[in-house]
Structure 1
Amino acid sequence: MAGRPRTIDRDKVLDAAEAVVTRTGASGLTIDAVAREAGITKGGVQYCFGSKDNLIAAMIRRWGDAFEEDVMNFAGEKPDARAVIRGHVEASRPPDAAEVSRAAVMMTALLQSPDQVAESRKWYNSRLEGLDVSTPEGRDARLALFAIEGLFFLKSFNLIDLDRETWQSVFEDIVKLARSGKS
């Protein structure tokens, strides 16, 4: 007799987990809360992910994969390190309030796991690999990456009040920096 086919949609469970953290913060993310939100049993969530840490890792991976796809769409075919950073900046366009909230929650969840922090450190370091910082253009690209990430973190954690017009204006300045020396 064959086992029961898997009927739980992992993306639906991840959507439920994101809804929980958006509504209650990272501290409200429990297997029980996700199960209730998804309309499945606690065992169903555990079947999909095994543990809360694995659930958080899957949420961060999905969020990161979607962002990376946007980056590469902006960076173009066979991009060099500067083009990837330009793509990163472009993919960081001023988000709506829901996206800012989601990002803050995801970053908070990420910081609760040393393994996820290590993965993020590796990811950021890889973003800078191959960047020729002996040139003004390479230094500008590095500065643009730091600026867009800093701006995004400040806005995501509500540490700075920026209306949409100001966000857009600062964003355009960062885009110019990222594009410096672009032919």
Structure 2
Amino acid sequence: MGRTPTIDRDKVLDLAEGILLREGTGGLTIDAVAKAAGISKGGVQSRFGTKNDLVRMLCDRWGQEYEDQFDRLVGEKPTPIQAVEAHIEMSLDLDQADKARAAALMAALIEFRGHIAGLREWYTTRLAALAPDSQEGRRARLAFLATEGAFMLRAFGCIDPTEEETRGLTADLRALLRGAV
């Protein structure tokens, strides 16, 4: 009797992400993922569930990558200012691949509105750490929200700043954070 085949979770998620990036949410189907992975549709469904579940796993993986990078930059207990500085750096220092991933993630979140709750929780946690009862907290909150706006505009291709413009925006946000604007 042969060994039960295993499905490499990360490999399948990589393939699903590739499909999402190339073909958008409409092209991301269980069948397309199964074909790309060389496994049965039933195998994908048994390991990953529905397309919605697959998108949730991609979002969870992207979120964990963000958290890991964030922790490497600021450590365990960053101040609100340090946390927002790291967020500015991570959100605005994107290459083309990162921008494409961000746009794909946003498109998937729009299509699968059930995932908005997790994103809302993430934002609630981040904003709660930026207490609006102090000047520093208000500056941090404003810089955070401005960073998110710039991130979204870039991710959706509404703006395409040059590297120099991005460096200038990053410097402006950091100055805002320190009260130097």
The question of a shared fold, defined as TM-score above 0.5 by the shorter chain, is answered with: yes
Q: After TM superposition, list the pairs within 5 Å mapping 1:1-183 onto structure 2.
A: 5=4, 7-178=6-177, 180=178
Cα pair 1:76 1:83 within 8 Å, conserved: no
Give the 3-state SS of the residue equivalent to 1:132 in structure 2: coil
Measured after TM superposition, the shift of residue 38 of structure 1 is 2.0
CA deviation profile, 1:75-102 (whole Å, cap 9, x unmatched) = 2232244433332222224211111011
| Cα distance change of structure 1 residues 176 and 45 upon mapping to structure 2, 3 Å threshold | farther
Tell me, in whole angstroms, the C-alpha distance in 1 between the residues paired with 2:76 and 2:120. 25
Seq. identity, %: 45
Consecutive aligned runs of 4 or more in structure 1 exceeding 6 Å deviation: none
- CA root-mean-square deviation: 2.0
Structure with the bigger percentage of helix: 2
Give the 3-state SS of the residue equivalent to 1:175 in structure 2: helix
- Give 5+ residue unaligned stretches, structure 1: none
Measured after TM superposition, the shift of residue 114 of structure 1 is 2.6
- Give 5+ residue unaligned stretches, structure 2: none
TM-score, normalised relative to structure 1: 0.89
Tell me, in whole angstroms, the C-alpha distance in 1 between the residues paired with 2:74 and 2:12. 31
Tell me, in whole angstroms, the C-alpha distance in 1 between the residues paired with 2:35 and 2:158. 32
Give the 3-state SS of the residue equivalent to 1:45 in structure 2: helix
Tell me, in whole angstroms, the C-alpha distance in 2 between the residues paired with 1:60 and 1:130. 22
Tell me, in whole angstroms, the C-alpha distance in 1 between the residues paired with 2:170 and 2:79. 22
